[in-house]
Amino acid sequence: MLCRQLNTTNSEALWFVFAGQPVKFSLTEFYGVTRLDCSPLLAERELAAATTHVEGSAPYLYSLIGRTLGS
Partner 1 sequence: MTVKELLRRLKSEPAMASWRKFRLALVVSVDGILLSRTHPVKASPEVVEMVKDVEFFLRYPWGRHAFHRMLRMVKVGSYIEDTSSLVGKLKQSSLAVHGFSLSIQLFAFKTIPMLLTLLHNGDEKETFLDQTIPCLPKCKTYHTSNIMSLEKQIYVSSPSFISLCCTFFLLLIPSSIIYIF
User: If binding is defined by CB under 8 A, does position 42 make contact with partner 1?
Assistant: yes
Distance (Å, whole) CA 1 – CA 6: 11
70 binds partner 1 (CB under 8 A): no
Instruction: Give the E-state strand segments of the chain in sequence order.
Output: 13-18, 21-26
The answer to whether 22 contacts partner 1 (rule: CB under 8 A) is: no
Site size toward partner 1, by CB under 8 A: 38
Query: How many residues does the structure list for the chain?
Result: 71
Torsion-angle region of 13 (φ positive above 0: left; ψ -120 to 50: alpha; else: beta): beta
Interface residue with partner 1, options 43, 45, 60, 71 (CB under 8 A): 60
Residues forming contacts to partner 1 in the complex (CB under 8 A) are 1-3, 5, 7-8, 11-12, 14, 18-20, 23, 25, 27, 29-34, 36-42, 50-53, 59-61, 64-66
